[in-house]
């Protein structure tokens, strides 16, 4: 059976998995956020085979998360830099890192701490809050069809009481 092509699914979350669901993709984004920009830096910090690294960087460039540009100072070397799309992924990375640090770090704690370059304060993942500051959890979730929803999603989520009842049973 052929693997599912997430890139052509109507769901934007599924399409994002086509870009970032491969195991090296988020680690490459991590390295860009941590300051790596050259092929040899990615190879050194990740221990990834050059052929796999080349293919994964190409995918991130094709999907618009990174740009491949001439290195400063001229010459034939090229570097990778974040695009607007790649910069917009940063809060997602911070949230994933916070989750992993909480649930998957060993007893010594996180391997790295993210600090604000301006004031030295720790960068922490934001929580979901209402305008009054109260926290929103999964128990508060109601799903409704959005403007891009087709018939299936309109049928599935058109009645908000269906999702509310599912959460009450959970």
How much is the pLDDT for 105?
96
Return d(Cα 40, Cα 27) in angstroms, integer: 15
How much is the pLDDT for 74?
78
The CATH number fitting domain 6-86, selected from 3.40.50.300, 1.20.140.10, 3.30.465.10, 1.10.10.10: 1.10.10.10
Counting residues of the chain whose pLDDT is more than 70, the rounded percentage is 93
Q: Which of 18-27, 40-49, 145-154, 158-167 has the lowest mean pLDDT?
A: 158-167
Instruction: Please say if the pLDDT value at position 119 is more than 70.
Output: yes
Which H or E run contains 41? helix 39-46
Which ranges of 47-107 would DSSP assign to H, the alpha helix?
50-62, 84-88, 90-103
Instruction: Please say if the pLDDT value at position 160 is more than 60.
Output: no
Q: Give the start-to-end residue ranges of the domains of the chain.
A: 6-86, 89-126, 138-169
Per-residue pLDDT band for 9 (boundaries 50, 70, 90) equals confident
Backbone phi, psi, residue 122, to 5°: -70, 135
State pTM to two decimals: 0.85
pLDDT digits (tens, 9 = 90+) for 130-156: 999 999 999 999 999 999 999 999 999
Handedness of CA 79, 83, 11, 26 (dihedral sign): positive
Instruction: Please say if the pLDDT value at position 161 is more than 50.
Output: no
């Amino acid at each position: 059976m052929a693997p599912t092509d997430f890139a052509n699914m109507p769901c934007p979350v599924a399409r994002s998995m086509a870009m970032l669901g491969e195991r090296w993709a988020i680690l490459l984004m991590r390295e860009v956020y941590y300051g790596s920009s050259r092929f040899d830096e990615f190879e050194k910090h990740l221990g990834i085979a050059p052929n796999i690294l080349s293919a994964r960087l190409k995918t991130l460039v094709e999907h618009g998360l990174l740009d491949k540009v001439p290195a400063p100072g001229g010459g034939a070397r090229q570097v990778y830099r974040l695009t607007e799309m790649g910069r917009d992924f940063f809060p997602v990375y911070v949230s994933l890192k916070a989750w992993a640090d909480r649930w998957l770090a060993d007893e010594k704690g996180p391997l790295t701490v993210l600090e604000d370059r301006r004031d030295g304060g720790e960068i922490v993942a934001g929580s979901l809050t209402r305008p009054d500051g109260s926290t929103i959890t999964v128990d508060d979730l109601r799903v409704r069809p959005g403007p891009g929803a087709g018939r299936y999603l309109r049928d599935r989520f058109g009645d908000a009481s269906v999702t509310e009842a599912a959460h009450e049973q959970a």
